[in-house]
Amino acid sequence: MQIRIGYELAFEVPRPTPMQLMLYVHPDQAGALRHPEKIVVEPAVAVEDFIDAFGNRAARILAPAGALRIRYDNEIRDEGAADASFEGLSLTPVHEMPPECWRFLLASRYCEVDRLSAIAWELFGATPESWERVQAVVSWVHANVTFGYQFARWTKSACDVYIERQGVCRDFQHLAITFLRALNIPARYTTGFLGDIGVPPSASAGDFSAWAEAYLDGAWYPIDARHNQRRIGRVVMARGRDAVDVALTTSFGAATLTSFTVWTDELPAVAA
Amino acid sequence: MQIRIGYELAFEVPRPTPMQLMLYVHPDQAGALRHPEKIVVEPAVAVEDFIDAFGNRAARILAPAGALRIRYDNEIRDEGAADASFEGLSLTPVHEMPPECWRFLLASRYCEVDRLSAIAWELFGATPESWERVQAVVSWVHANVTFGYQFARWTKSACDVYIERQGVCRDFQHLAITFLRALNIPARYTTGFLGDIGVPPSASAGDFSAWAEAYLDGAWYPIDARHNQRRIGRVVMARGRDAVDVALTTSFGAATLTSFTVWTDELPAVAA
Amino acid sequence: MQIRIGYELAFEVPRPTPMQLMLYVHPDQAGALRHPEKIVVEPAVAVEDFIDAFGNRAARILAPAGALRIRYDNEIRDEGAADASFEGLSLTPVHEMPPECWRFLLASRYCEVDRLSAIAWELFGATPESWERVQAVVSWVHANVTFGYQFARWTKSACDVYIERQGVCRDFQHLAITFLRALNIPARYTTGFLGDIGVPPSASAGDFSAWAEAYLDGAWYPIDARHNQRRIGRVVMARGRDAVDVALTTSFGAATLTSFTVWTDELPAVAA
Amino acid sequence: MQIRIGYELAFEVPRPTPMQLMLYVHPDQAGALRHPEKIVVEPAVAVEDFIDAFGNRAARILAPAGALRIRYDNEIRDEGAADASFEGLSLTPVHEMPPECWRFLLASRYCEVDRLSAIAWELFGATPESWERVQAVVSWVHANVTFGYQFARWTKSACDVYIERQGVCRDFQHLAITFLRALNIPARYTTGFLGDIGVPPSASAGDFSAWAEAYLDGAWYPIDARHNQRRIGRVVMARGRDAVDVALTTSFGAATLTSFTVWTDELPAVAA
């Protein structure tokens, strides 16, 4: 399966502003891209690439004052398989994990493990100490949080989501991640492209998506408290502790998003 | 100058519990140590070392059930000079910083840059865009927060400190770090040994200390909103975004600290 | 001047639910009404009136399951004068206020005086201890908070507004009230009708309005951090500590607001 | 049974400061006092009494600059019976309660009913809709919160207690009250004298106590999530929505408590 992916973002920038862009496909999946990656910025400015502390490919620019456009278009090859299943797997004991897993057990800006720890054990302490505990967390968040774009705000943390029970994609994932970490299961936040492949077309406009990954039996598996189903065609852009680490764009100064288009479409198969 | 440093910590652990220890001297300063580093754990268990994502030397153990003791003793050579002064320095523009500085501009668990950004600009936006802005932040926090061990709690963030105006070492640093990041000045959290060298002896028992570092004119400088003075003999153990990254010990399960001794003493000079 | 006032609210109620209605004109202004007050409820149920602890006229019903409509229509005579000015007035010393003022100095659900006290004194402690301090608070909130219906949420308190700097009517008033109380100036929350009389017509649909009252020189004066101007034709419905006390409707069980119309229109003068 | 009650409080007041004192026995119990009530203030200042909006007898003074002492000593007759039991009682339907109960269903400063409502129904929604639901709330809070004087802070709300699971008397009661209100059971906060009558003597010094009252089957019953047992000899001083309404002393300006003695002792029976 080939998936066409891309975006066009427009900003209004009042004065020259440094920006960090997490807008490449993750190096783990970049080998499946049809074309070399290129973030096109208008007006043309230097785009400096770097690999961040989590292994993501990032870019940074100094956006000039005025209108700014950022575009990307590509195709990626995908197996067309649903997310790998973690059913039946055991949990890795903490002391048997590689050390690099441990940072995904700790609290982060939007995932206050310290604050939600007692609650996590009350809600999930009686579940089997296996993949079923992971599933219980994902299902609970899916069932108890109401989705709505109007519920988004930048300061919203997992604890807020637990209290308010409302949110967008990222809020669902933050709460699930926090519960998992409190239960000593490593969990990390993931952003990327996720189209309506194999599911009924969504009424809302295309958008980037946020999901998460949990560590079971020595490997990372996608989890998604927003949809609570195994999906086809996830294209990872970045991974981190939470939305802070992998914000698609981070501006060090004012920058107003004025328009926003994202595409993630399965391409028709071409006869050989 | 030679400084004797060390600690002895005791825990009661109800069941086997993995622990992360940030209890070595930082690799940057380890060359000045007199003896090879050794964390002695009783009962004897494997101590596995690793370098974390911030370049700190860390260790991990699987603590057995029962009483646990962790000891360390060493000497370190120090120039005996006060903290490097940043007086007169300019601030590095964000787009001229190396990319690895940028993560120290972002929000983290205890440093909610998003929440305190407007306030930071109200308080400090009129200060000169230079080292004086850094000093203004440090002085403000020092003057407006009251120190007291009874004000410590694990869930306390910079925003809580700003509202409550009370805290311990780490709280002072979290608030200063958050303001600096909001002002686009990289700031990181630091833990280590800091004795009463060149200052009147403190009435309270020895303890580890927390301070911070700010990035000016292409380099990192120690800052300390708790003491607001240049001190002699800081021995860095670990650096990170905030106290989450560099907690001296992190237990993945219950572990009760039952006693605690830390020493940081200037040794008498020996005649040649 | 005659003002036509009224509303029609529709709810969907899944099961019989007690509701409190603060939907009468306040007894202080009810003498200027043209018709006796009547809240019409469909389907017809008993409407039990009572005077609450703040002197407001309230009603309560047991809403049956199904669709519920609540209607009211009336006319009120108004002087047509702008809000009384408090310019030039002195502040009443706390110990000279009648005791019933004191409860409007204390913290309440949405007005955490304890949390914002240090900040209030930092922001306003240097203003003259007179009406100018009241005006400074109102002007600051007006200038520093951005209005938007999308920023409303039921859990939002003054402290949230101070941090997030976004909100609806009630949020502006909560923050101003909290600052005033912290400065030892009694302030209370007010709901009522406020039409576009003497100001350009608003683009948005009719709605109830929230404003506040501050106590200066022995009397209560309207203040309005949302508009920061003296307005014509305020019709008070209820007063209390904050929005908790005077919510237009409070349901003890689920009740979904399905439609909502409010009118507050100056009637054309009739020739004698 | 005769109980001797009283207190001596000392403050240091930097400048003349108005203070509200909720330091009388509640009018409901005052008929059982042996002597007329008198709050003795040194230096002598006018003590102005008033009845507050909750029916409590309160006093206010203008404390002069300097050292301030407040004393009270009395005896009260008590039946010597344990708190009235609510076992077996039914819950009053909301629409059958007198209107004055309804304000004790609403959110207040320290009791964020809005924020803890979903959680209350998750924890207690499956309990029988009777006195057993009240008991379940009290027992849960008693079992899940750890007592400690070092956990006190003035800004701590029920939501904080739920997250942190630590607190003093007032924190236990705030959390229980909030859960009850969320479950549509009126609950109010109570302060008063409570000695060690019929229980082993407490190691800690005498103090005022905070408990609560819940409304079942048409009447108010004492509940106490701190002790979770029926006690003898409660002497009510004041009732309100939460600790804001009935703070023993509220200062409108700085006033430092410098010493504090409270006595509540059963007197030996005297032979006739």
Per residue in B47-73, pLDDT (tens digit) is 999 999 999 999 999 999 999 999 999
Instruction: Name the pLDDT band for B272 (thresholds 50, 70, 90).
Output: low
β-sheet bridge partners, residue A232: A82
- The stretch B89-94 carries a mean pLDDT of 98
Query: Two tokens at C208?
Result: 């109830």
The three-class DSSP label of residue A267 is coil
Residue D270 has pLDDT above 80, yes or no: no
Residue C271 has pLDDT above 80, yes or no: no
Show residues of chain B in contact with A94, CB under 8 Å: 18, 252
- The stretch B149-173 carries a mean pLDDT of 96
Query: Two tokens at A265?
Result: 């479409």
Query: Two tokens at C108?
Result: 């309440």
H helix or E strand, kind and range, residue C50: strand C48-51
Distance from CA of C82 to the nearest CA of D (A): 32
Residue of D118, D163, D165 lying closest to A165 (CB–CB)? D118
Instruction: Name the pLDDT band for D271 (thresholds 50, 70, 90).
Output: low
pTM exceeds 0.80: yes
Q: Name residues whose C-beta falls within 8 Å of residue A37's C-beta, 6 or more positions apart in sequence.
A: A24, A25, A30, A72, A74
Report the distance separating Cα B180 and Cα B186, nearest Å: 7
Q: Find which of B94, B188, B189, B239 to mutate to test the A interface (most A CBs within 10 Å of its CB).
A: B94
Which residue, A66, A62, A58, A29, is CA-closest to A45? A62
The answer to whether the Cβ–Cβ distance between D108 and C53 falls below 8 Å is no
Distance from CA of B252 to the nearest CA of A (A): 7
pLDDT recorded at residue C169: 96
Using CA coordinates, name the residue in chain A closest to D160: A115
Half-sphere exposure of C272 (CA within 13 A, CB side): 0
Using CA coordinates, name the residue in chain C closest to D109: C109
Distance from CA of B115 to the nearest CA of C (A): 6
Distance from CA of D230 to the nearest CA of B (A): 32
Residues C198, C128: contact at Cβ < 8 Å? no
CA dist C145 → C150, C172, C227, D49, D257 (Å): 14, 7, 11, 41, 37
Terminal CA-CA length for chain D: 14
Query: Two tokens at D43?
Result: 């230096």
Residue A270 has pLDDT above 80, yes or no: no
Interface B-D: count of C-beta contacts within 8 A? 7
Q: Is the peptide bond before A99 cis (omega within 30 degrees of 0)?
A: no
- The stretch A29-45 carries a mean pLDDT of 97
The answer to whether the Cβ–Cβ distance between C164 and A150 falls below 8 Å is no
Residue of B62, B95, B100 lying closest to A18 (CB–CB)? B95
The answer to whether the Cβ–Cβ distance between B99 and A58 falls below 8 Å is yes
Report the distance separating Cα C258 and Cα C66, nearest Å: 12
pLDDT recorded at residue A201: 85
pLDDT in tens, A160-210: 999 999 999 999 999 999 999 999 999 999 999 999 998 988 877 778 999
CB atoms within 10 A of CB A14: 11
Show residues of chain B in contact with A58, CB under 8 Å: 99
Distance from CA of A179 to the nearest CA of D (A): 14
State phi, psi for A222 to the nearest 5 degrees.
-65, 140
Which chains reach chain D with 3 or more Cβ–Cβ distances below 8 angstroms? A, B, C
Cα A225 off chain centre by: 12
The three-class DSSP label of residue A183 is coil
Show residues of chain A in contact with B48, CB under 8 Å: 99
Residue of D116, D144, D163 lying closest to A159 (CB–CB)? D163
Q: Name residues whose C-beta falls within 8 Å of residue D80's C-beta, 6 or more positions apart in sequence.
A: D1, D197, D232, D233
Using CA coordinates, name the residue in chain A closest to B154: A114
Residue B271 has pLDDT above 70, yes or no: no
- The stretch D152-165 carries a mean pLDDT of 97
Report the distance separating Cα C206 and Cα C20, nearest Å: 22
Residue C95 has pLDDT above 60, yes or no: yes
pLDDT in tens, C184-224: 999 999 999 999 998 988 877 778 999 999 999 999 999 99
- The stretch B233-262 carries a mean pLDDT of 96
Burial of B200: CB neighbours in 10 Å, binned 0-12, 13-18, 19+ = exposed
Which residue, A111, A60, A101, is CA-closest to B101? A60
Which chains reach chain B with 3 or more Cβ–Cβ distances below 8 angstroms? A, C, D
Place of tokens 């299943």: A85
| Chain C residues whose C-beta sits inside 8 Å of any chain B C-beta | 115-116, 118-119, 144, 159, 163-165
pLDDT in tens, B188-233: 999 999 999 989 888 777 789 999 999 999 999 999 999 999 999 9
Instruction: Name the pLDDT band for D203 (thresholds 50, 70, 90).
Output: confident
Amino acid type, A255: A
Q: What is the mean pLDDT of chain C?
A: 96
Dihedral over Cα of C188, C191, C193, C199: its sign = positive
Show residues of chain C in contact with A155, CB under 8 Å: 163-164
| Beta pairing class for B166-167 and B146-147 | parallel
Place of tokens 């805290």: B167
Report the distance separating Cα B244 and Cα C30, nearest Å: 59
pLDDT recorded at residue C201: 85
Residues B149, B217: contact at Cβ < 8 Å? no
- The stretch D72-76 carries a mean pLDDT of 98
Instruction: Name the pLDDT band for C272 (thresholds 50, 70, 90).
Output: low
Show residues of chain B in contact with C114, CB under 8 Å: none
pLDDT in tens, B92-129: 999 999 999 999 999 999 999 999 999 999 999 999 99
Which residue, A264, A265, A260, is CA-closest to A8? A260
Instruction: Name the pLDDT band for C116 (thresholds 50, 70, 90).
Output: very high
Residues B106, A54: contact at Cβ < 8 Å? no
Using CA coordinates, name the residue in chain A closest to D163: A115
